[in-house]
Amino acid sequence: MLDYKKIRDDFPILKELMNGKPLVFLDSAASSQKPQRVIEAFADYYRCRNANIHRGAYRLSYEATDLYEGTRRKMAKFIGAPEPESIIFTRNTTESINLIAYSYAMNNLREGDEIVVSELEHHSNLVPWMMAAKKTGAVLRHIPLTDDYRYDYSRLHEVLSDRTRIVSVAHMSNAVGTIHDLKRLGEAARSVNAIFAVDGAQGACHLPVDVQAIDCDFYSLSAHKMLGPTGVGVLYGRKKLLEEMEPFLGGGDMILTVSKDDFKPAPLPNKFEAGTPNIAGVVAFAVALEYLKQVGLENIHEHEMALTSYALEEMKKVPGIRLFGTEHMQERGGVVSFLIDGVHPHDIGSILDEEGIAIRAGHHCCEPFMKREGLPGTARASFYLYNGPEDVDALVLGLKKVASIFKVATPAGV
Ligand code: PMP
């Protein structure tokens, strides 16, 4: 059992008042809150360790480099990467996926090649592939979805062919919380010799990840969703692939040598890390990783599943509520998307905000999915290790207030 009350004490923002009420933070799928020790590591870096990395011929720079590279080693262990060089620091998941699209897809795809995604993907796992498709003449194919927003694995063969070059899917959907079967998807990708890329923005923060067990070629994630600072992302890549790929951005630090007209790229990982990175953010991210490791991803996932089950039960009591997502609980994480009959999701968000409850309303960067479902968007509550059943109770009370303000009737038989 996870002691979420003790955990809450580590997060200073959770003691804040919002609109005069205690903050009930239910938007961790967008970005998580940060524990005191991560905030301190960030400040401490600027207070007494700040120097540019890799090039300085002085102690402060060596120390900053050690800290920065230390995070890389910790990150590699955290997701089971075989070596630290296959961990590339980026700004976020979005940049990581763009790196694959620019450096791999745009250089390797030809007209008529196929990129397999789904209509449930976040824009970050769609638009870079659309851009690559436009440049190369490749086309997007979409994995069919079941009625409860899982990938329809029985129909995977319909979208795979000898033209499939890339299969890129989310670990977990930010819109409806489905956790996808990466093993199965990876096997499918390999069966047609395609690259298998995972958008792990909602994965590594909530679930144990072992990139070697998943056997993926790429895994992208964002530090800010896993207790770390904004402006730090990770791309894990299979070393051989990364070595074969062209650099993404050019400039300082990513070169081995530069002559008047040409350059030679540096070995991994520097080849993909042009310019001064977010050193303070990367350094503080190590502390976030330690925190998550200490609590344990299995425990976090179990806690979120219990909260989600409780939320789904309690939210059913709200008049006019419509809940999205699968009832196969082992295939969903701590995200609950919902609507209340006749109430726009933004109105739900505003009324809850008056009660100090932070949720998200809109298309959640999943416009194709919302269009497919004919939805104006949804309201979304998402849970993390610092949430407890009292947060669900506050949410349900707030939703009942929304229903009463809009005079939503309970449908007969409910
Ligand atoms: N993919 C998924 C599934 C996400 O939830 C998010 C963030 N909402 C992203 C990609 C993009 O993450 P970032 O904005 O940190 O690049």
| Terminal CA-CA length for the chain | 33
What is the model's pLDDT at position 314? Answer: 98
**Residue 312 confidence (pLDDT) above 60:** yes
Quickly list DSSP for 119-173: TTS-GGGTHHHHHHHHHHT-EEEEE-B-TTS-B-GGGHHHH--TTEEEEEEESB-
Cα–Cα distance, 71 to 287 (Å, whole number): 9
Nearest-10 crossing angle of helices 279-295, 297-315: 80
Backbone CA torsion sign across 224, 227, 229, 235? negative
- How many angstroms separate the alpha carbon of residue 56 from the centre of ligand 1? 34
Which of 177, 172, 179, 176 is CA-nearest to residue 339?
176
CATH topology of domain 38-294: Aspartate Aminotransferase; domain 2 (3.40.640)
Give residue 333's pLDDT band: very low, low, confident or very high (50, 70, 90): very high
What does the pLDDT read at residue 345? 96
Confidence of residue 17 (pLDDT cuts 50, 70, 90): very high
Say yes or no: CB of residue 206 within 6 Å of ligand 1.
no
Please indicate whether residue 170, judged by its CB atom, sits closer than 6 Å to ligand 1.
yes
Q: Ligand 1 in contact with 220 (CB < 6 A)?
A: no
Per-residue model confidence (pLDDT) at position 1: 76
Q: Is 186 exposed, middle or buried (0-12, 13-18, 19+ CB in 10 A)?
A: buried
Which CATH superfamily groups domain 4-30+296-404? Aspartate Aminotransferase, domain 1 (3.90.1150.10)
- CB of 136 within 6 A of ligand 1: the answer is no
pLDDT at 413: 47
Q: What mean pLDDT is predicted for residues 12-33?
A: 97
Q: What is the pLDDT of residue 74?
A: 98
- Which band of pLDDT confidence, cut at 50, 70 and 90, is reported for residue 56? confident
So what's the pLDDT on residue 22? Answer: 96
> What are the tokens at 27?
């938007």
Ligand 1, residue 96: give the atom nearest the CA. 16
Q: What is the mean pLDDT of residues 301-318?
A: 97
Q: What is the pLDDT of residues 148-168, one digit of tens each?
A: 999 999 999 999 999 999 999
The amino acid that residue 283 corresponds to is V
Active site residues: 365
- The minimum-distance atom of ligand 1 relative to the CA of 233 is 15
Dihedral, 120, 122, 126, 127 alpha carbons, nearest 10:
140
Q: What is the pLDDT of residue 55?
A: 82
- Mean predicted confidence (pLDDT) in 291-298: 98
Strands 195-199 and 164-170: parallel
What is the pTM (predicted TM-score) of this model? 0.97
Nearest to 324 by CA among 365, 381, 371, 391: 381
Segment holding 358, helix H or strand E: strand 357-358
Of ligand 1's atoms, which has the minimum distance to the CA of residue 92? Answer: 16
pLDDT > 70: percent of the chain: 99
Q: Quick: pLDDT tens for 265-291.
A: 999 999 999 999 999 999 999 999 999
Residues 81, 262: Cα–Cα separation, whole Å:
32
- CA-to-CA distance for 129 and 363, rounded, in angstroms? 20
Residue 412 pLDDT more than 60? no
> ipTM of the predicted structure?
0.99
For residue 362, what is the enclosing H or E element?
strand 360-362
Question: Does the beta carbon of 94 lie inside 6 Å of ligand 1?
Answer: yes
User: Looking at ligand 1, which residue's alpha carbon is closest to its atom 2?
Assistant: 201
Query: What is the pLDDT of the chain when averaged over all its residues?
Result: 96
Question: Using CA atoms, how far apart are residues 299 and 402, in angstroms rounded to an integer?
Answer: 33
Pocket test of ligand 1: the residue of 32, 98, 126, 174 to mutate, having most ligand atoms within 8 Å of its CB, is 174
Provide mean pLDDT across the span 383-399. 98
305 has a pLDDT exceeding 90: yes
Q: Which residue has the tokens 């005191």?
A: 36
Domain layout of the chain by residue ranges = 4-30+296-404, 38-294
- Ligand 1 center from residue 58 Cα (angstroms): 38
- Determine contact, residues 355/393, Cβ cutoff 8 Å: no
| Portion of the chain with pLDDT greater than 90, in percent | 97
Q: Is 93 in the pocket of ligand 1 (CB under 6 A)?
A: yes
